[in-house]
């Protein structure tokens, strides 16, 4: 058992390192790791009964867990179909530009609108596609208005991950967590999405205080923005309306239809197929644009995570973290929140989430179902928001897009802003959970912050009187 565990853990670490350094394509790395795990468990491991059907369970789930992995894959495929057609129809570009036009180029309104668009779009699309759509659009708008786009770009890059915790479909970690824990679309939104929107409001206020002097207004150029026709982003107006209708329909069905009646993955797949048919686009072209690399990557990670669980490594980690938190539900939830965030800062959050899901299960065994639910919410928040602690991962794409559009941004400023903002967001969640769970530490932190804010405001007022 020990030898097998060491090899499988080393395999997982090797896959993460290869992906992190860019030495190997992530799908190839994950599949290679999965194959190594297969040979280890089949031919080396003798203490655990493992056969080919066990690996089918790793890939797609089992009857006992309701084929959770298969449901996750199907949901991802269904949403890929819907999002790809919407992207082809120019839905997100059109809506974003129309909303920006309503601001008439006024910086305060631009800040709120661009930040809101980022969160709303990333709540439906994956982070990479959101960035690909919004960063060039923001740079184009800044050129029209003749203003510096850097503050807006930095804010958008940070807020993409907040949008990733609005809905169950907003990110891969959310899909994996909610499918595994049996959390419904509505339940997730009420317990994580609403909280994310609250933190979003606090983050906007922080951005405004930070960048209020850099947000400039050029009235001579503002009128040009109104002259642009947002329909220039739309190749087919009829397809635009069809796509918006189907997208809204999917979200409504997620909310209204219980998963016990129709699973979310079937809703997404059905909507995707319907949209492909009524769009009259070339199905081959749509299928070509599906991210099959992501699917292969996920399958490889499923096998590696299953192998870690089979060798007892997951239980060991869960027991260790549980011992660290003791019998305190609050301490255990905080460990899950902060550990998942800081791990996701340096490692792709998909394998981290997949490995931590059963770890949360092990920790949660000694607590009530409500605490187990809260632990899963904390994992979703940490795994998504932790991305911004370092400029690695998806954030590198933001830097590259800015350079390609000849509007380079400061990586140092990006790193500093991401680290400070993310820790602020996690601190807010810590305080909220502390108050919800009625812990003394929550009141201490809240009181300390109130005193600090009061002192800052008092000093500012005193300085103004002196001037």
Higher pLDDT, 162 or 93: 162
The token pair at 30 is: 């994950």
| For residue 246, pLDDT beyond 90 | yes
- pTM of the predicted structure, to 2 decimals: 0.82
Rounded average pLDDT over 92-106:
83
pLDDT tens per residue, range 130-150:
887 888 888 888 888 887 888
- Give the confidence band of 440 by pLDDT, cuts at 50, 70, 90: low
- Give the confidence band of 220 by pLDDT, cuts at 50, 70, 90: low
Return the pLDDT at 272. 93
Return the pLDDT at 189. 94
Return all residues near 406 (Cβ < 8 A) that are at least 6 apart.
none
Rounded average pLDDT over 98-125:
86
| For residue 377, pLDDT beyond 60 | yes
- Give the confidence band of 434 by pLDDT, cuts at 50, 70, 90: confident
What are all long-range contacts of 330-334, with beta carbons under 8 Å and residues at least 24 apart? 330/433, 330/434, 330/437, 330/439, 330/441, 332/363, 332/364, 332/367, 332/371, 332/375, 333/371, 333/374, 333/375, 333/378, 333/433, 333/437, 334/378, 334/430, 334/433
So where are the chain's domains? 441-467
pLDDT tens per residue, range 389-407:
876 656 666 777 777 777 7
Residue the block writes with tokens 């960063």:
135
- Give the confidence band of 111 by pLDDT, cuts at 50, 70, 90: confident
CA-angle at 13, arms to 385 and 425, nearest 5°: 10
What is the Cα–Cα distance from 247 to 183, expressed in whole angstroms?
21
What is the SS3 string spanning the chain?
CHHHHHHHHHHHHHHHHHHHHCCCCHHHHHHHHHHHHHHHHHHHCCCCCCCHHHHHHHHHCCCCCCCHHHHHHHHHHHHHHHHHHHHHHCHHHHHHHHHHHHCCCCHHHHHHHHHHHHHHHHCCCCHHHHHHHHHHHHHHHHHHHCCCCHHHHHHHHHHHHHHCCCCCCCCHHHHHHHHHHCCCHHHHHHHHHHHHHHHHHHHHHHHHHHHCCCCCCCHHHHHHHHHCCHHHHCCCHHHHHHHHHHHHHHHHHHHHCCCCCCCHHHHHHHHHHHHHHHHCCCHHHHHHCCCHHHHHHHHHHHHHHHHHHHCCHHHHHHHHHHHHHCCCHHHHHHHHHHHHHHHHCCCCHHHHHHHHHHHHHHHHCCCCHHHHHHHHHHHHHHHHHHHHHCCCCHHHHHHHHHHHCCCCCCHHHHHHHHHHHHHHHHHHHHHHHHHHCCCHHHHHHHHHHHHHHHHHHHHHHHHHHHC
* Burial (CB count within 10 angstroms: exposed 0-12, middle 13-18, buried 19+), residue 253: middle
pLDDT tens per residue, range 287-337:
888 888 889 988 998 899 888 888 888 888 888 888 888 888 888 999 999
Rounded average pLDDT over 240-269:
90
Return the pLDDT at 438. 62
**Exposure pattern of 189-199 as b/e (b: 16+ CB <10 Å)?**
beebbebbbeb
Question: What's the mean per-residue pLDDT of the chain?
Answer: 84
- Give the confidence band of 426 by pLDDT, cuts at 50, 70, 90: very high
Give CA separation, 423 vs 17, 106, 117, in Å.
25, 30, 23
pLDDT tens per residue, range 256-277:
898 888 988 999 999 999 999 9
């Amino acid at each position: 058992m020990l030898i097998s565990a060491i090899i499988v853990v080393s395999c997982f670490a090797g896959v993460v390192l290869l992906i992190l350094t860019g030495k190997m394509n992530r799908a190839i790395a994950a599949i290679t790791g999965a194959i190594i795990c297969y040979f280890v468990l089949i031919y080396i491991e003798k203490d655990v009964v493992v056969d080919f059907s066990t690996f089918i369970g790793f890939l797609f789930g089992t009857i006992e867990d309701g084929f959770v992995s298969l449901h996750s894959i199907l949901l991802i495929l269904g949403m890929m179909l819907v999002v790809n057609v919407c992207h082809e129809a120019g839905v997100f570009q059109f809506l974003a530009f129309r909303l920006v036009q309503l601001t008439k180029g006024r910086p305060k309104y631009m800040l709120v609108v661009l930040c809101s668009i980022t969160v709303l779009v990333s709540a439906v699309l994956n982070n990479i596609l959101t960035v690909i759509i919004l960063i060039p659009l923001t740079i184009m708008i800044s050129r029209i208005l003749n203003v510096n786009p850097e503050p807006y770009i930095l804010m958008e890059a940070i807020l993409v991950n907040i949008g990733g915790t609005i809905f169950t479909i907003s990110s891969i970690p959310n899909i994996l967590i909610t499918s595994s824990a049996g959390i419904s679309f509505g339940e997730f939104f009420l317990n994580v999405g609403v909280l994310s929107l609250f933190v979003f409001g606090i983050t906007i206020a922080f951005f405004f205080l930070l960048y209020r002097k850099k947000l400039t207004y050029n009235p001579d150029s503002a009128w040009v923005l109104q002259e642009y026709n947002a329909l220039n982003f739309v190749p087919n107006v009829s397809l635009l309306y069809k796509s918006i209708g189907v997208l809204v329909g999917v979200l409504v069905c997620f909310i209204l239809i219980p998963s016990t009646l129709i699973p979310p993955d079937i809703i997404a797949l059905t909507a995707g197929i319907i949209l492909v048919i009524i769009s009259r686009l070339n199905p081959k072209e749509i299928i070509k644009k599906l991210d099959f690399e992501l699917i292969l990557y996920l399958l490889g990670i499923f096998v590696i995570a299953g192998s870690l669980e089979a060798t007892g490594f997951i239980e060991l980690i869960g027991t260790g973290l549980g011992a660290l938190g003791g019998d305190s539900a609050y301490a255990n939830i905080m460990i899950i929140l902060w550990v998942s965030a800081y791990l996701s800062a340096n490692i792709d959050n998909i394998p981290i989430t997949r490995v931590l899901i059963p770890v949360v299960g092990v920790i949660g065994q000694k607590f009530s179902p409500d605490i187990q639910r809260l632990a899963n919410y904390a994992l979703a928040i940490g795994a998504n928001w932790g991305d911004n602690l370092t400029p690695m991962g998806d954030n590198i794409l933001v830097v590259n897009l800015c350079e390609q559009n000849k509007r380079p941004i400061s990586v140092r400023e990006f790193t500093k802003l991401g680290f400070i903002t993310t820790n602020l967001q996690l601190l807010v969640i810590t305080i909220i959970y502390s108050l919800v769970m009625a812990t003394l530490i929550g009141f201490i932190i809240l009181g300390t912050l109130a005193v600090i804010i009061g002192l800052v405001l008092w000093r500012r007022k005193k300085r103004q009187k002196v001037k």
